[in-house]
Structure 1
């Protein structure tokens, strides 16, 4: 039976508490750090050799759909009532609004070192040490809105720009493509700095701190952000029912992307599941 992922702004006090407690339990058991490690291992740039699955590739969306499902299943082994809520960053845009409350994710980092000092994931609480990281920092950091070089969260029109594109992705299937829904939502653009970050990428930069880079899973907001990204994919699917995940088949033998991207019926490492099997999420969950 399918369960419902809720808008984080609609969660009751009990639902917030259960979600936080389940995350802290996974952290205490060491299971949460496995998710951080997995994302670091699959955060591969265009310029590196080998298969790209999590980012800068067509499989960005199904890979994170499966990643969310794996986390959700782990949470539900702790508390069967828990689901991952989504954060609609086109609407809840303030640095003190949901989800940045003391009863949920805590607030912004302090000015001196960007350390988060409020909420259940604050280092001083003793429950959230960063064990898997790309730096030596062991406490959760945030820089909401980037105080020194401000940027804004994506807007509804930014999202609509992506949703309007009927084609899922285009060759060369990487961060350089200017067409296709996948990269318009993932958000790799031309130029340098903030002008080049769109939608998904811009949100990571707006949160800042731990959310920038391969170890972004260290901030629990990662899951709420990607649940909304997944919801946007489902909206695109409903709007463009005749269009599906691309590429449908592997690139040709002489194509430089051969062996670097996942086709519709190929498995998404590290799981034995294909994009084709993940296109219909309603057998698992729906969005409320």
Structure 2
């Protein structure tokens, strides 16, 4: 029977407590840091060599869907009642709304060094030391809204703009495409500065701190954000019945994306699973 992922803003106090407790236990066991390592390893950009699986590629959505499932399975081994909640950033848009409460993820970082001082993941409690990072900091950081270079969270209309596109992705299958649902949702835009970040990318930028870059998994909000992104893929599929993951076949010899992206029936590293197999997960979970 499929379990249910719920809006973080609707969780009861007991549900919040169980989710936090399971997350802290996965961290205590050392499993959580392996998720951080994996995301850093697969955080590759257009200009780098080799296969791009997690970002700037069609497999952005199935890769993170499987990544979320692995974390969720780890949580459910601790407490089978727990699922990953999602953060609806089109509605909960302030620095004090869900999920930034003391009972769930804690709040903003302090002005001096952006260290998170409140909530269960504050360094001072001793339960959330950053051990895998691209910097030498060992405490969680946030800079909600990026006050020095202010930005807003994406709006409902910006998300609707992505959901409206009936094509999953288009050549050249990277961060430069201006058509296709995948990059409109992932959010690589043209130009410079904050305005070039859209939807998914803008949320990472708005949270700031550890959510910037490959080690973004160090902030537990990563999972709530990506659960909401996963929900958008589900909604897009229901809106555009019959639309499929693209490309269906790998780019051929001579194509600059040959060997660099994952086609529909190719294995998605580091797992032995294809994007096609991840298009429908209705037997595993659904969204409330």
Partners of 1:103 and 1:155 in 2: CA distance? 26
**CA RMSD between the two structures:** 0.4
**Partner residue of 2:277?**
277
1:141 alignment counterpart: 141
Match of 1:47 in 2: 47
Does 2:213 match 1:213? yes
Q: Which residue of 1 aligns with 2:183?
A: 183
Q: CA deviation at 1:17?
A: 0.4
Mapped partners of 1:124, 1:192: distance in 2: 37
Per the TM alignment, residue 193 of structure 1 is displaced from its structure 2 partner at its CA by 0.9
1:230-241 aligned at under 5 Å gives the runs: 230-241=230-241
Matches within 5 A, 1:96-135: 96-135=96-135
Q: TM-score, normalised by structure 2?
A: 1.00
Partner of 1:162: 162
1:281, CA displacement in angstroms? Answer: 1.6
2-structure distance, mates of 1:283, 1:230: 15
Give aligned pairs, total.
288
Aligned equivalents of 1:222 and 1:190: distance in 2? 24
Cα distance in 2 between the residues matched to 1:284 and 1:260? 30
Q: Distance in 2 between matches of 1:186 and 1:229?
A: 9
Distance in 1, matches of 2:242 and 2:194, equals 34
SS in 2 for 1:217: helix
Q: Shift of the alpha carbon at 1:254? A: 1.1
Taking the aligned partners of 1:41 and 1:192, their CA distance within structure 2 comes to: 26
Q: Gapped runs of 5+ residues in structure 2? A: none
Alpha-carbon distance in 2 for matches of 1:153, 1:111: 20
User: Which residue is equivalent to 2:57?
Assistant: 57
Q: Tell me how far apart the structure 1 counterparts of residues 177 and 132 of structure 2 sit (CA, whole Å).
A: 32
User: Would you identify which runs of 4 or more consecutive aligned residues in structure 1 move more than 4 Å?
Assistant: none
C-alpha displacement of 1:242: 2.1
